[in-house]
Amino acid sequence: MRKRRRTVRERAARMRQADPREQAAGGWQAAPGERAARTPQPAPGGGAVPALRTRAGRALGALRLPRRYGEGPLHLLLMLASFALTGYAGVRLLAGGQWPLVLVWFAGAALLHDLVLLPLYALADRALVRWTAGTGRNRARAAYVRVPAALSGLLLLVWFPLIAGAAGGGSAAHYEATTRLPGGVFLTRWLLVTAGLCALSALWLLVRTVQRRLCGAPRRRSETKQRAAPGA
Amino acid sequence: MSAPHPSAPPSPPPAPPSVWRSPLRGPRLTALLGVVLLAGITLLFVTGLLSYAAYNPDLGAGINDKTPGKGLLGIYLFSWPTGPSWLYRLTQGLHVTVGIALVPVLLAKLWSVIPKLFTLPPARSAGHALERLSLLLLVGGALFEFVTGILNIQLEYLFPGSFYPLHFYGAWVFMGAFAAHVVLRMPRTVRALRERTDPAAADDDTGLVPVRPDRPTMTRRGALGLVGAGSLLLFTTAAGQSLGGWWRRSALLAPHGGREPGSGPNGFQINKTAAAVGITARETGDAWRLTVEGGGRRVRIGRAELLALPQHTAALPIACVEGWSTGDQEWSGVRLRDLAALVGLGDRPPGVLVESLQLHGAFRRAALRDNQVRDPRSLLALRVGGAELSPDHGCPARIIVPAAPGVLQTKWVARLTFGEW
């Protein structure tokens, strides 16, 4: 299975590579005979070509897939099967009166993540690392802030409606009326968990620093060694 | 091959993107996260399909069916069993809790492949263009499913339309793209897992290895550890709402975690209070009558007459589609099959349509299948833990059926129609 797919991919890659030469030689359309002649050629060094491979090659030629498809026939079949299912479910997903909004939610979720959330936290992390380096400390020390911040941010992201609802707004009242549970506790709990994570991280950093001071004191003179050890 | 030098003549491929510089990115990180997601999402899909079947949407006139246009997507449906009684607790607890715990894995996976979003040219060929369109459905579908699910369990119904069709059809759209993605990427994933090291940027066929990597600030193992810690933290602050008992206290941020809403026999978790759905004491007081219909007969009885019928006890949980559940409660009341016998259908009782006093709400009418009616533990419960039902738990009478989702355990029951409806 794996071998077969790889050969198809390699074929596609070789065909792509072949394109510019072909263009230089006289345009997109290669003569059918020329294509057929080249198709079964084994890759250089591929001494033991499995029968499958040549057969797949012939099938490809027989299907006469437009060169521009760029992938094997199995790829096309897989894509068609996938789109058939997504289409079948998709028309049902969009069947309600609010289909434009559903589309917005579907595509918007991807766009919001890829173009807003991810760049935001990536930039925040980069700023953190730069700041750590700017203080003259090892860049790897950024992890002591990064880890509790990431974990706390994750909790906030997942439980945002409950946490933000506790901070005010109608959703806490709705939650309380529905479940008879207190809606105001989530902000407090999240802050406490965040404080706990930060305290743990600080404690860890402290222990590591003390450990290094105690064990590393005699070796302090060998600057190079000290520089090389962390950072990994 | 060395990295291109600024003074060297421009090489044929377009300038590689230099924005993405994390040395962690590469086929191996993506493959490891991908394998975890493959297992996790498969579990979510299976438990999701089971939950759909647990509603018995194919029953009768589609009373329980919130997706009547499902067509072939409901082809697998089967009669949901009544045992083990914790079945739905388990499947739906897994669905929700594992879903929550997978959030950091999904985010990390998307982070690991973000350079691919900005590859140029956008499409090399028609095949590549199709694949990228499929990836939009994959990423959009994954986020859509996680977001709708996570909002729904927090009772935040912001999404456009009813949760059931959105989450159900959205899942199928996502799975269509997911299956193709798994097949296409499996060979490269297996190779990345076997090779154990990432290729150099020049030999990289995946487009993930950074051309100009930054100096590392954490190892790949450290990054995976962070993702794992995130999953573990989310898991431990949510799982307690499905485990119940002492563990509920550990679910600090889950909607039904922390503590029970009350004390005593009626102190356990409430899905919707009587006040929230507009049930008043006047309706549930002395004037309340239960109507039992079926087989061309009709009986109206009050609470005293119900208490005069043989009373049975069953220890059963309440398990909600939102993932939380309670431990077993001692319910007592009249068996559903004894109520069917009141209208002469006691030998082989058929399914039943249960109607609540509730005037609105998606499941104020719910249907139970014959296997559920016939189970000796299926009750019209009048008491719980030795006390009368509280208004919030369905006073004067509620349905309790083993292994059925909470929404089918109708509260404030007013009418039972056995057989044709």
Q: Domain locations in chain B?
A: 27-241, 281-418
Amino acid, single-letter form, for residue A97: G
**Which residues of A, range 191-210, sit inside 8 Å of B by Cβ?**
193
Q: Please choose, from the candidates B389, B388, B374, the residue with its C-alpha nearest in 3D space to the C-alpha of residue B81.
A: B374
Report whether B100 contacts B331 (CB < 8 A).
no
Residue B17: pLDDT band (50, 70, 90) is: low
Is A62 inside a domain boundary? yes
- From the list B103, B151, B217, which residue is nearest A161 (CB)? B151
Q: How far is B251 from chain A (nearest CA, A)?
A: 10
Same structural domain, A59 and A159? no
Contact B253 A190 (CB under 8 A): yes
Determine whether B305 is exposed, middle or buried from the number of CB atoms within 10 Å of its CB (0-12, 13-18, 19+): middle
Same structural domain, A187 and A143? yes
Report whether B317 contacts B327 (CB < 8 A).
yes
Mean pLDDT check: name the lowest of A6-20, A65-79, B193-207, B226-240. Answer: A6-20
pLDDT of residue A10: 53
Same structural domain, A103 and A159? yes
Same structural domain, A132 and A151? yes
Is A138 inside a domain boundary? yes
Amino acid, single-letter form, for residue B164: Y
Contact A79 B70 (CB under 8 A): no
Same structural domain, A127 and A153? yes
Mutual orientation of helices B27-54 and B220-236 as an angle, nearest 10°?
A: 20
Residues in chain B with CB shorter than 8 Å from the CB of A113 are 110, 139, 143
**Closest Cα in chain A to B110:** A114
Segment A113-149, tens digit of pLDDT: 999 999 999 999 999 999 998 988 888 889 999 999 9
Same structural domain, A108 and A206? yes
Q: Above 90 in pLDDT, residue B344?
A: yes
- From the list A9, A110, A147, which residue is nearest B136 (CB)? A110
**Architecture, CATH, for domain B281-418:** Alpha-Beta Complex (3.90)
B98, B252, B260: best to mutate for the A interface, most A CBs within 10 A: B252
Q: Please, which residues have CB within 8 angstroms of residue B115's CB and are 6 or more apart in sequence?
A: B17, B19, B20, B25, B207, B208, B210
CA dihedral sign of residues B354, B355, B356, B359:
positive
Query: How many other CB atoms sit within 10 Å of the CB of residue B6?
Result: 4
Q: Please choose, from the candidates B22, B17, B31, the residue with its C-alpha nearest in 3D space to the C-alpha of residue B219.
A: B22
Q: Please, which residues have CB within 8 angstroms of residue B77's CB and are 6 or more apart in sequence?
A: B52, B53, B56, B57, B58
Contact B103 A139 (CB under 8 A): no
Contact B273 A180 (CB under 8 A): yes
Contact A92 B67 (CB under 8 A): yes
Which residues are paired to B248 by β-bridges? none
Contact A92 B104 (CB under 8 A): no
Q: Taking every pair of C-alpha atoms in chain B, what is the biggest distance, in angstroms?
A: 97
Same structural domain, A77 and A104? no
Q: How far is B404 from chain A (nearest CA, A)?
A: 20
Q: Please, which residues have CB within 8 angstroms of residue B236's CB and are 6 or more apart in sequence?
A: B250
Q: Looking at per-residue confidence, does A231 or B121 come out higher?
A: B121
- From the list B173, B180, B273, which residue is nearest A78 (CB)? B180
Whether residue A215 lies within 8 A of chain B, CB to CB, comes out as no
Same structural domain, A188 and A112? yes
Contact A93 B166 (CB under 8 A): yes
Is A229 inside a domain boundary? no
Which of A31, A61, A92 terminates a domain? The answer is A92
Q: Looking at per-residue confidence, does B305 or B359 come out higher?
A: B305
* A22: containing domain: 2-40+52-92
Q: Please, which residues have CB within 8 angstroms of residue A73's CB and are 6 or more apart in sequence?
A: A59, A60, A63, A65
Give me the number of domains chain A comprises.
2
State residue B354 phi and psi, 5-degree precision: -105, 130
Q: Is the peptide bond before B396 cis (omega within 30 degrees of 0)?
A: yes
Residue A216: pLDDT band (50, 70, 90) is: confident
Is A15 inside a domain boundary? yes
Contact B180 A185 (CB under 8 A): no
Contact A157 B177 (CB under 8 A): no
Contact B127 A12 (CB under 8 A): yes
Q: Looking at per-residue confidence, does A96 or B258 come out higher?
A: B258
Residues in chain B with CB shorter than 8 Å from the CB of A200 are none
B114 vs A212: CA distance, rounded Å = 37
Same structural domain, A110 and A136? yes
Q: How far is A82 from chain B (nearest CA, A)?
A: 5
Is A225 inside a domain boundary? no
Q: Is the peptide bond before B84 cis (omega within 30 degrees of 0)?
A: yes
B377 vs B368: CA distance, rounded Å = 14
Residue A39: pLDDT band (50, 70, 90) is: very low
Q: Is the peptide bond before B121 cis (omega within 30 degrees of 0)?
A: yes
Contact B156 A161 (CB under 8 A): yes
Report whether B86 contacts B242 (CB < 8 A).
no
Same structural domain, A87 and A103? no
B319 vs B160: CA distance, rounded Å = 26
Is A222 inside a domain boundary? no
Give me the total of CB pairs closer than 8 Å, taking one residue from chain A and one from chain B.
223
Q: Please, which residues have CB within 8 angstroms of residue B401's CB and are 6 or more apart in sequence?
A: B82, B316, B336, B368, B372, B375, B377, B378, B408, B409
- From the list A2, A70, A162, which residue is nearest B154 (CB)? A162
Is A231 inside a domain boundary? no
Q: Please choose, from the candidates B402, B318, B143, B175, the residue with its C-alpha nearest in 3D space to the C-alpha of residue A114.
A: B143
Is A227 inside a domain boundary? no
Same structural domain, A86 and A155? no
Residues in chain A with CB shorter than 8 Å from the CB of B275 are 177
Contact B172 A88 (CB under 8 A): yes
ipTM of the complex: 0.93
Q: How far is CA A125 from CA B26, B106, B285, in A?
A: 19, 19, 61
**Which pair of structure tokens corresponds to residue B224?**
């995976």
Percent of chain B with pLDDT strictly greater than 70: 96
Segment A51-105, tens digit of pLDDT: 445 565 555 555 555 677 999 999 999 999 999 999 999 999 999 889 999 999 9
Residues in chain B with CB shorter than 8 Å from the CB of A16 are 124-125
Whether residue A163 lies within 8 A of chain B, CB to CB, comes out as yes
Instruction: Return the residue matching tokens 């049930």.
Output: B279
Task: Provide the CB-side half-sphere exposure for B325 (13 A, CA).
Answer: 31
State residue B334 phi and psi, 5-degree precision: -100, 135
Same structural domain, A56 and A163? no
Contact B111 A71 (CB under 8 A): no
pLDDT of residue B184: 97
Whether residue A15 lies within 8 A of chain B, CB to CB, comes out as no
Q: How far is B375 from chain A (nearest CA, A)?
A: 30
A155 vs A149: CA distance, rounded Å = 10
Mutual orientation of helices A51-63 and A2-26 as an angle, nearest 10°?
A: 50
Residues in chain A with CB shorter than 8 Å from the CB of B186 are 2
pLDDT of residue B6: 41
Could you list the beta-strand ranges (E) of B179-323. Answer: 290-294, 297-301, 312-316
